Amino acid sequence: MTSDVAIFYLYYLVRGYTVSTYLFTFLCIFFLVSSLLPLKVSSLRTYFEREAYHVNRPQETKRLIIYKIKRFMGIIGNPFVIRYVKDDRFDSLERRLRTVGNENVLNPSEFFGFKFISALIGSLLSYLIASSFIWIIPGFLCGYFYPDLWLREALQIRQRQIQKDLPFALDLITVSVEAGLGFESALEKVVEKGKRSPLTDEFFKVLQEIRVGKSRCEALQDMAIRIDNSDIRSFVSTLIQAERLGTSISTILRVLSEQYRTKRSQRAEAAALKAPVKMLFPLAFCIFPTLLLLLLGPVILRNVI
């Protein structure tokens, strides 16, 4: 039935009887594809409830829905990745997606599927807002490149948050180690006492990898690869070097804590020095013209009238 409706609309689209059928093109293609899939759109809710019946928890149901959405995006983006994406670009994109550190991280195929879906939505919205086919291409391009902007912004936010939380986490680890706890126990204290953040999530992953049998050096190196931050790489390499040479970890942690605290203060001072330069443009082109208009506008109107 769904495929018949889709073919009906596509027939009138080709014959050109009505212009409004262009609005239904995307929906018709979606319905036609969904009719060929084993999972029908009309039975999504029933399917998810049946799959989550044995779990009986809302969190698992949410994960199942996210998994199905990611699978659908992977089906859309996989042909493009296989044909047009080179190996070096594939590895770079995979590393960036892994660096985001989200629980529901996407792979490159799913990410390109997300880009295509976003492009279709952007083109449809641009046509509905502007009521002109000219704006479909700009809407398509904006929707296609929006996931790249989102990914870059997510990476920057995560890096800044990790750099901000690292000195406090090192202070807590140093105090715990100097009090007689081991390094793993100190990480557990950071995870338990610290607030939820990307850094505590990475420490929790390190503890999980150590518990399943991975060595401390390998777990820390994997964390440095996932985060891809200069401070974390320096922290991990220093700890690994101290462990190999037999140096006291508490002394190394104390030095690192003071070093990163000083570096954090230097970053704050640098950001404060950049503030006047960043305020120059809005002052010159937004605030000053408004003030001049408010001050000189009545005088000009009085002289003209």
For residue 18, the model assigns a pLDDT of 44
Rounded Cα gap, residues 10 and 185, in angstroms? 64
Number of structural domains found in the chain = 1
For residue 54, the model assigns a pLDDT of 44
Cα 303 from chain centroid?
57
For residue 21, the model assigns a pLDDT of 42
In a domain, 233, yes or no: yes
Q: What is the mean pLDDT of each run of 10 residues along the chain (305 residues)?
A: 45 43 48 44 43 50 75 79 77 79 72 86 85 83 87 87 87 86 86 84 88 88 85 87 81 84 84 83 81 81 74
CA-to-CA separations, 57 to 52, 64, 66, 69, 132, in angstroms, rounded: 8, 11, 15, 19, 46
In a domain, 195, yes or no: yes
**88 exposure class (CB count in 10 Å sphere: 0-12, 13-18, 19+):** exposed
In a domain, 224, yes or no: yes
In a domain, 105, yes or no: no
For residue 34, the model assigns a pLDDT of 47
Task: Read off the CATH number of the domain in which 199 is found.
Answer: 1.20.81.30
In a domain, 73, yes or no: no
Predicted model pTM: 0.65
In a domain, 96, yes or no: no
- Structural domain range at position 252: 162-265
CA-to-CA separations, 193 to 103, 108, 180, 186, 261, in angstroms, rounded: 21, 35, 17, 10, 20
In a domain, 245, yes or no: yes
In a domain, 230, yes or no: yes
